Amino acid sequence: MSGFIRKFTKQIIIACNVLVSLYMLLLYMLPHSNQLHFWFLNLTALAFPFLIVVQIGFLIFWLIAKRKLALIPLITIVLCWPFVRSLFALNKKSSNQESSFTTASWNVHLFDFYENNGTLDAAMMKSAVNLNADVLAVQELVFSIDSTSDISFEKVKKKLGYQYGVAGNDRRFGVHTHPGKRTERYYAFSIALFSKYPILQWQKVQPLREYNHTFIWADIKIGNDTIRFFNVHLQSMHFAKTDYDFIEAIDNSGIEEVKKGSKSLLSKIKVANIVRSIQINAVKEEIVSSPHPVVLCGDFNDVPNSYAYQTINNLLDDAFTEGGYGTGRTFLKLSPTLRIDYIFHDEKLKPVYFKTIQKTKSDHRPVTASFLIQEK
């Protein structure tokens, strides 16, 4: 009887290992899927870091119990290695190499505009200046429509230390009157590109008149070369504080609470995944039509290997994997593996340095990268 139980248990473990392997390999299907119907495949990318840990556990187990079966997790890890590489980087930390320009990307959370009763946080503004980027991509910027205001776009641009700048917003007109003691209208949750080099032309692209459906690109003259910079901010999950609290305390929640909370989270994840797929496909079209080498910065609100990530990574290279170090976490809530802010680049640009800034007052960490424009 004990032999039967041992054999049955072995078959169950093998089946579990194979199922995990197949689930991980679904990532290869993700960029070719229709997200309107197969949005749930994107959950594979979200779970992937934990699935790797599970596979390593299987590998160790089989090496002890049955070495031949260790081939299952080993082959799976080898096949999934491109996805593993997007999660971890082990490049040398050196910023002394020659570069042509430096770019940075940061979701600044309105520079704590609401928290500071209608003013921009001075410490955060200084942090943005200290990034010392030649081109700075900012998500969730706020500025006043009133040109005489101390937070007009021109004045914000100068405070950040830039001569050139462009910004886009989802709305045709300003919103939110009377924040704090302010009386002017202003653009909130804008995206902007600031540059120390001349901006030759730029465009705001808005496929749908909905929140986060706007992105911008700008052709920037750097020496004798023109680089097209993109700044995007994809749809967020719109998790409320109650959602974050639920996730953090899920182990202490009752069955009914878990059911109710999980249903709410899954609904938000579904909507966000579908909307992001629409947005990133529009971005892809603009990248493909670009006559110049491209640098794309932005807050994807999605993890490496996701549909949005793979769609862009099939066109451009991820500066983090080529120049970064560690896990590169950029979002400070939930999982310690959440890297959702990116800098992608054309193969004609060589990344010589990448850094994730650790200290920040925003819920996002800034990322910076230096590039060398390779000779034609």
Q: What is the pLDDT of residues 155-211, one digit of tens each?
A: 999 999 999 999 998 765 555 555 666 677 888 889 999 999 999 999 999 877 666
The answer to whether residues 70 and 59 touch, using CB atoms and an 8 Å cutoff, is yes
Residue 228 sits at the vertex; the CA angle it makes with 227 and 230, to the nearest 5 degrees, is: 135
The stretch 40-46 carries a mean pLDDT of: 92
What one-character DSSP code corresponds to residue 316? Answer: S
Domains of the chain: 2-85 (no CATH), 99-373 (3.60.10.10)
Q: What is the pLDDT of residues 69-90, one digit of tens each?
A: 999 999 999 999 999 999 988 8
pLDDT over 50 at 250, yes or no: no
- pLDDT score at 245: 44
Helix and strand totals (H; E) in the chain: 11, 14
pLDDT over 70 at 264, yes or no: no
Helix, strand, coil shares of the chain, percent, nearest 5, are: 40, 25, 35
Total-model pTM: 0.89
Return the structure tokens found at 252: 């202490």
Given CA atoms 187, 191, 194, 197 in this order, what sign does their dihedral have? Answer: negative
**Radius of gyration from C-alpha coordinates of the chain:** 23
Specify the higher pLDDT residue, 262 or 300.
Answer: 300
